[in-house]
Structure 1
Amino acid sequence: MTQVHPTAIVDPKAELDPSVSIGPFTVIGPHVRIGAGSSVGAHCVIEGHTTIGRDNRIFQFASLGAVPQDKKYDGEPTELVIGDRNTIREFCTFNLGTAQDVGVTRIGDDNWIMAYVHIAHDCQLGNQITMANNATLAGHVVIGDWVTVGGLTGILQRMRIGAHAMLGFASHIGKDIPPFMVVDGNPLAVRGVNLVGLRRRDFSAERITAIREMHKLIYRQGKTLDEARSALSELALQVPGAAADVALMDGFLGSSVSGIAR
């Protein structure tokens, strides 16, 4: 039997794996699905069309699946989808998607999300992301894998954060952040390459050298973005072991709509 505290209110239509545990005074709505091994703490509200995967740990006072903070929302059956093995700390708020976008707010796997984090409608988060306390995402934000977001950092709507980037404490993110970069401040500034993160993830010396060269091409040599991208293609030929990293950077730069932090 699912371990549901007697004071919790779980709609009979909700789909909970038998191994799920639900804490005191928590409310689970009729369109909620929670996978095996997940636990939900006390005083949480999980509502809307919300799907939560396996082995997630949701701490007390979280609000997941509430309607978007978007005046255009008109009750459409949009979703919140959370993957596996995520840690979601106290007072986090994740909203449903909207019909004006893909209709799904999505959080991937193995993310570490600290207290008071807000993830607004239609955000798309990858895997292995760390978000420190009070980080806030406006709508339609996309964050790649292995990104670190510092506490009290705000990310404007429709911004994209490339994989392996690190956003420093209390930063104002109003431009796209390319992969591998370290940024902080208000006004925002690019400080360099996320060397600590890359080394922790066992990037080879060859790959790190190539990534540092990408930083120089984009930020230190006075090149236009088109010129920097042309130089990136040459770098991929010179360092075959970093070709995938170069392709990641080039694809990100080529698809940026808001412009990158420079």
Structure 2
Amino acid sequence: MSQEQEKSLEKEKKQEENEENEENEEKEEKSTKEEVLVEGFVHKQNSREKQIKKKNGKQWKKRYFKLFPDRLQYSIKEDSKILGSMNLYKYQCFPKEEVTDRFILRLFKPTEKSLFLEFENEDTMDIWKNHFKTAITNCSKKAFLENQEETKKHCIAYLKTGWLFKQGVKGLFKKKWKRRFFVLKSKDLTLNYFATEKYEGQPKGKILLSDVKSVGKAIFNDEPFGLTVGIFSTKRIYKIAADSAKERDSWIVIIQDNSENLEK
């Protein structure tokens, strides 16, 4: 085989390899490309109370929409810059019934502006409507799973949270009861209490479960579902009350189970 033939074969081989690589890249790109339920040009109108105008009115604009399993986005052209994107969680989709001579869908959410979309014919509108229902269902499922995950994380970080009443230390005769949000942290076994349910920042006070020497039921004049928490270091007895016997008992159990130095 001559030198020229060898070079020619090598060139062909490289070309084949390049073509194969390009094909593989295209396949990978297609496989990683996000699923689109439906796409195409649609006339849109953002409005809450505005009257529906004709297509040539200023309110209506032709945009290229892509409906993904979890959101809707649009741009001027198919591959141009994205102008808007909306998560479809808690949205509803239905035809605008008061307009009989046109094919308009309304995307509605109580806290957001309605989005009106107009289609060329009824068949196209029905296709989009069905896909919208699928996407809205997907968003609800996704939100549910995310909420479950957040709840799981919350349960890991906090053994128990809830509203209780705590008697203050000030006052010579009648000490006031104040409503506090109690949070029992699993990391350091600290029972913190806050003025609001947003238990962030510095708490109003805290009880280290390692300091707890006693916990039990109690009945106070104003609060029938009470409990007391005795502390070693300060020799203080916290007077706390719940809204029900069940809630009181659950707090007693969780404190007992996580307090190592209880007096027997």
TM-score by structure 2 length?
0.27
Choose between structure 1 and 2: higher helix proportion: 2
Over alpha carbons, which structure has the higher Rg?
2
> As a proportion of its length, which structure holds more strand?
2
